[in-house]
Amino acid sequence: MAMILAAAGFYLSALVASGAVLFRLAFPLLPDRERRRVARMGVLAAWVGIILVLLQWPLQAGYLGGGNVAAATDPVLLNIVFESSPGTRLILSVTGLLLVQAIQLNGLALSKGLSLAGMLLVMLAFTQVGHTVNAPRAVLGGLLILHLIAAAFWVASLWPLFRLVGRHHDRAYTGRILTRFGQIAKGGVGLLVLAGVALATLITGGLTPLLTTAYGQLLIGKVLIVGALMLFAAANKWRLVPAFERGEATAPRRLQHSIALEMVLVAIILLITAILTTATSPNG
């Protein structure tokens, strides 16, 4: 259980920290105060990510040794984890999450370069463990990185957008931010679709494993839950948007609720992802 929570927390914080870098690049004209808040969110997420990925190390050793405290501190098991791909992932993600924090250095070209390099290292860390290490590794890893970049941007945008909508900025200003987010998200979704479909096709080799393995069935269940939420979101659109257009007093609050729902959705998805990726038994 601790392992699953640590994994889910790591996914979330790594995505938020990396996504904060992208968010700042995408919205260079954010007011100073909002920009600093995004940077703070990124830095906080980076530190949480570092702590969680370091915590995963003894947790993994403990699991491998039979799930006890003695195994978690066993130097041999700790060494096995460190020398295998989880160790590479650890080094890459800690380095990346430290570099991401350059996001705080305001306006410097160096800050952009360092934080972007950090983001790429974090993304690279994700390709170290799992099916993307299989051939064709460069293709799978590249697709996963593109996929994660789009996902990180989206995940990290939720909180800043939530705040923007909730604050009493003028509607035209919030509208401009949302328009820009919409434009970028359109491209982002395209990237997610292409990378996601290509990855799924290359990794699963088709629909059969989805239907025949317990793992696949769980995935389908998850997709169905998300599909139901999508219907909800579509219904929301028809209720929310006209209200927003009319400038109804409750509209921002309702939009906030929608974004909050997305955050809950992210949490559920990451938790299920962690359950699926933390410990597996062979043969599905």
Partner 1 sequence: MHKKTTAFPIIHATLASLLMAVAMPVLAHEDIINTLPGDGATLQNSPEKIGVEFDGVMRITQFEVTGPDGSVRLDNQSGSELSERYFVKPEEALSSGDYQVNWRGLSDDGHMMSDGFTFSIEP
Site for partner 1 in 23-82 (CB under 8 A): 60, 63-66, 76-77, 80-81
- C-alpha 138/C-alpha 144 separation (Å) is 10
Whole-angstrom CA distances from 38 to 25, 35, 219, 254, 265 are 11, 5, 32, 23, 21
- C-alpha 41/C-alpha 169 separation (Å) is 20
- Say how many residues touch partner 1, by CB under 8 A: 86
**Residue matched to tokens 């945008």:** 157
Q: Which of 147, 149, 156, 159 binds partner 1 (CB under 8 A)?
A: 147
Nearer to partner 1, 101 or 127 (CB): 127
Q: Which of 31, 113, 136, 242 binds partner 1 (CB under 8 A)?
A: 242
Report the length, in residues, of the chain. Answer: 284
Instruction: Give residues 107-136 in contact with partner 1 (rule: CB under 8 A).
Output: 128-131, 133-134
Instruction: Give residues 253-282 in contact with partner 1 (rule: CB under 8 A).
Output: 255, 258-259, 262, 265-266, 269, 272-273, 276-282
Nearer to partner 1, 49 or 62 (CB): 62
- C-alpha 93/C-alpha 95 separation (Å) is 5
Q: Are 240 and 252 in contact (CB under 8 A)?
A: no
Nearer to partner 1, 21 or 269 (CB): 269
Residue range at the interface with partner 1 (CB under 8 A); choices 16-24, 38-46, 112-120, 204-212: 204-212
**Please, what is the minimum distance in Å from the beta carbon of residue 111 to partner 1?**
27
Helix (H, G, I), strand (E, B) or coil at 73: coil
Which distant-in-sequence residues (6+ apart) come within 8 Å of 65 by Cβ? 71, 72, 74, 77
Which distant-in-sequence residues (6+ apart) come within 8 Å of 139 by Cβ? 202
Residue range at the interface with partner 1 (CB under 8 A); choices 19-27, 47-55, 108-116, 231-239: 231-239
- C-alpha 199/C-alpha 137 separation (Å) is 11
Instruction: Give residues 167-196 in contact with partner 1 (rule: CB under 8 A).
Output: 171, 175, 178-179, 181-182, 185-186, 188-189, 192-193, 195-196
Q: Which of 227, 248, 250, 253 binds partner 1 (CB under 8 A)?
A: 227
